[in-house]
Amino acid sequence: SNIVVLISGNGSNLQAIIDSVQNGAIDGCVSAVISNKPDVYGLERAEKAGIPAIAVDHSQFSSRSDFEQALIQTIDQYQPNLVVLAGFMRILSSEFVQHYLGTMLNIHPSLLPKYPGLNTHKRVLENGDKEHGTSVHFVTAELDGGPIIAQRSFHVTADDNEESLQKKIQQQEHKLYPEVVSWFCSGRLQFKDGKAWLDQQ
Ligand code: GRF
C-alpha cells in the first residue's frame, strides 16, 4: 500500500509507522508526510527516513475550504490508498472526509465513544475513571465518531496525572497504530456499509 501520513507535531506515531514499514511489519510504504504546521519535529523524522516532508500551512489560507483543497491536491499527488492521521490537529470538513471515506484512519487518546475532542486525560482524571486508553477508527464526518477498529486500555492508578497518562497512552499507541495500519495494508481491514470489518485469521 501507498500511505500518506498527516501530522501537526512531534510525530512519534509517524515514527512507529515508519519503523514498522522498515522492519517489514507493514506491507507498504510511506510516500509522503504532510503537516499543517511548518517546523514541527515530525517533518524532520520524515526527512531523516528519506520521505518527502511537506508543509501545507493552514494559517496561509483564508478559509478552511481553501486549505482543504490545497491539502487534497498535495495528498492526491501521491495517489495513496491509505491516509493516516497521526496527531493531525485540524478539524476536517465532511467534504474532505467524504473524499477519503473508508481509506482514512485516526488515532485518538481515549476509549471512544468516551471523550471525543481535546483534553481527554484531564477529563478522565476529573471523572475518576478507573480505565483509560486509545482508539483507532475510520474517519467520518463526526469528530472522533467514526467506526472503531481497535482499542487498548490500561488501569488508571491513584498517582496518575495528565503527564503519566499521556506516557502510558503513547506506549500503547506506538504498538496499536502500526498494527492497524498493517491490517489495512494486507487487506484484512475494510470499511463497508459504514462499518469497520476485520478478517479474523
Ligand atoms: C497522540 O497521542 C494521538 O492520540 C493524538 O495526538 C497525539 C500525537 O502524538 N491525536 P505524536 O505527534 O504522534 O507524537
Query: Domain residue spans in the chain?
Result: 2-107+136-150+173-198
Rounded to the nearest whole angstrom, what is the distance from the C-alpha of residue 33 to the centroid of ligand 1? Answer: 15
Residue with cell 467520518: 140
Predicted structure pTM score: 0.97
Residue nearest to atom 12 of ligand 1 (CA): 11
Rounded to the nearest whole angstrom, what is the distance from the C-alpha of residue 72 to the centroid of ligand 1? Answer: 22
**111, 113, 125, 110: which is closest to 161 by C-alpha?**
125
Per-residue pLDDT at 72: 98
> pLDDT tens across 65-110, in order?
999 999 999 999 999 999 999 999 999 999 999 999 999 999 999 9
Fold of 2-107+136-150+173-198: Rossmann fold (3.40.50)
The alpha helices in 57-190, defined as continuous H runs, are: 64-76, 94-99, 120-126, 162-185
pLDDT-derived band at 200 (thresholds 50, 70, 90) equals: confident
Is 108 labeled as catalytic in the residue annotation?
A: yes
Torsion from C-alpha of 48, 109, 68, 1, nearest 10 degrees: 50
Mean pLDDT computed over 11-26: 98
For residue 86 and ligand 1, the question of a CB distance below 6 A is answered with: yes
Distance of CA 122 to the CA centre of its chain: 21
Rounded to the nearest whole angstrom, what is the distance from the C-alpha of residue 27 to the centroid of ligand 1? Answer: 23
For residue 108 and ligand 1, the question of a CB distance below 6 A is answered with: yes
- Exactly one of 58, 99, 108, 137 is catalytic; which is it? 108
At 180, list the grid cell: 492497524
For residue 9 and ligand 1, the question of a CB distance below 6 A is answered with: yes
For residue 133 and ligand 1, the question of a CB distance below 6 A is answered with: no
Per-residue pLDDT at 51: 98
